């Protein structure tokens, strides 16, 4: 069945534009209740980030679920991974997240978790879409769903986060700057660190409904870097608006991305004998990480870009650790989905156990220079079928002489071809990426002129 609304990570778009409007959310709540409730009394949990539009969509989803006879447990502003966790512990049949992750406030979206705290299977999403095509009905008055707010949701999640590192580990004596992107982690993340004994400086913890991800958080770590240097902090932590991504900054002010963090955690778990299966990255993961893992005897696999595909490959190969350069890291031996705060704690615990700074830990991996150029296209182009483009790719690979990679891939959301080149020599990487992008641009233009 072709899907009209669900993408690889739920439903997302601009607020007020179909399908991100109140009318659609009402029907979506009803359809979800019909499919997941299956005529039985059950419950769904709803959480959200700090976007102003989240209140509107929360109310609409609540009304739709109630009309379908499903009880609702409202969590309020909570990180996406917290909703996955609480879906399981509250024995709900599903969790709904109202968030557009790292996007600006004018976007919003819906993500679902299963009763096990994992992404919904494709067949369930397809069944929900099919139900959306039916006229909306309401169960009899005595069968309407009841809504209840879970007052201690924050405390439950804070305790869970702390439980993911050994109880003997404390963060006493560690000065940490944390940037919560004015998003869903603004309360829980600082309090996790405080309860573990850290001295913290918090930024991005004053959400007003419109400033989520605005010049802050994991996509904009510049201010975090400034604050780390200003306060002579040991480390900086940057989360994104819904709390599933993490970027860190070391005491020298150097940004440590998802590939470097994934390497640090993998190396620590491997040394402790607790790493099973391969580490899974994506097509965009840095070659330096792959080589560093191989030196440690750790298998590495690449999935398609997207945490959904990382998770699928981990599960298929009995792996427990994977992630993306963006900082979306999955620790399946700790939780069921990507969790920025849980990931940060694994890194902080490694620093504490090894009595080492983040700057030292990342030295185990040499990060290759990498450049990606987005080439706009007027119409879809098959880069694999174009001999002109493939000849240019072969020429670039020959110049890299086995010490780099070339990757061309179409964007899944925009009319672009992403041209990525990485290698040991930064100047050569830039030169080859620029040349290859120009070839792709000319080929795309020629195709549009003959269409």
Where in the sequence numbering do the catalytic residues fall? 101
Tokens of 150: 């879970």
* Whole-number Å distance between alpha carbons of 32 and 44: 9
- The residues with which 303 forms a beta bridge, in sequence order, are 282
Instruction: Tally Cβ neighbours within 10 Å of residue 202.
Output: 18
* Whole-number Å distance between alpha carbons of 44 and 85: 13
Long-range contacts of 130-137 (CB under 8 A, 24+ apart): 130/1, 131/30, 131/31, 131/34, 131/35, 132/5, 132/27, 132/28, 132/31, 134/31, 136/26, 136/27, 136/30, 136/64, 136/67, 137/67
> Could you tell me how far CA 342 lies from the centroid of its own chain?
13
Nearest to 66 by CA among 149, 128, 145: 145
Exposure letters 222-250 (e unless 16+ CB within 10 A, then b) = ebbbebbeeeebbbbbbbbbbbbbbbbbb
| Cβ atoms of residues 313 and 299 within 8 Å | no
Residues near 377 by beta carbon (within 8 Å), at least 6 away in sequence: 415, 416, 417, 444, 448
| Cβ atoms of residues 371 and 405 within 8 Å | no
């Amino acid at each position: 069945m072709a899907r009209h609304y669900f993408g690889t990570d739920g439903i997302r778009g601009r607020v007020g534009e179909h399908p991100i409007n109140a009318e659609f959310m009402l029907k979506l709540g009803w359809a979800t209740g019909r499919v997941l409730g299956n005529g039985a009394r059950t419950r769904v949990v709803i959480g959200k980030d700090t976007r102003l539009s989240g209140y509107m969509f929360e109310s609409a989803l609540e009304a739709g679920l109630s009309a379908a006879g499903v009880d609702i447990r409202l969590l309020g502003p909570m990180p996406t991974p917290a909703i996955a966790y609480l879906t399981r512990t509250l024995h709900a049949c599903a969790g709904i997240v109202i968030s557009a992750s790292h996007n600006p406030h004018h976007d919003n979206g819906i993500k679902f978790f299963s009763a096990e705290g994992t992404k919904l299977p494709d067949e369930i999403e397809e069944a929900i879409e099919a139900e959306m095509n039916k006229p909306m009905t309401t169960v009899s008055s005595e069968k309407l769903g009841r809504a209840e707010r879970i007052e201690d949701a924050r405390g439950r999640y804070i305790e869970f986060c702390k439980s993911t590192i050994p109880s003997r580990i404390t963060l006493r004596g560690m000065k940490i700057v944390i940037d919560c992107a004015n998003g869903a982690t603004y309360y829980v993340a600082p309090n996790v660190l405080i309860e573990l004994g850290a001295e913290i400086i918090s930024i991005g913890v004053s959400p007003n409904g419109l400033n989520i991800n605005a010049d802050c958080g994991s996509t904009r770590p510049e201010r975090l870097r400034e604050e780390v240097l200003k306060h002579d902090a040991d480390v900086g932590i940057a989360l994104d608006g819904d709390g599933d991504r993490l970027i860190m900054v070391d005491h020298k002010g150097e940004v440590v991305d998802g590939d470097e963090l994934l390497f640090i955690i993998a190396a620590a778990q491997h040394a402790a004998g607790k790493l099973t299966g391969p580490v899974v990255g994506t097509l965009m993961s840095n070659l330096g990480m792959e080589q560093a893992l191989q030196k440690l005897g750790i298998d590495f696999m690449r999935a398609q870009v997207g945490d959904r595909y990382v998770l699928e490959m981990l599960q298929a190969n009995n792996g427990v650790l994977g992630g993306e350069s963006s900082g979306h890291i999955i620790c399946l031996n700790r939780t069921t989905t990507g969790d920025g705060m849980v990931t940060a704690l694994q890194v902080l615990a490694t620093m504490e156990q090894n009595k080492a700074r983040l700057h030292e830990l990342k030295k185990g991996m040499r990060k290759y220079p990498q450049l990606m150029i987005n080439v706009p296209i007027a119409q879809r182009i098959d880069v694999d079928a174009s001999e002109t483009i493939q000849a240019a790719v072969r020429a670039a690979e020959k110049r890299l002489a086995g010490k780099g990679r070339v990757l061309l891939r179409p964007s899944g959301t925009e009319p672009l071809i992403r041209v990525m080149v990485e290698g040991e020599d930064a100047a050569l990487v830039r030169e080859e990426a620029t040349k290859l992008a120009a070839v792709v641009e000319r080929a795309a233009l020629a195709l549009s002129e003959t269409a």
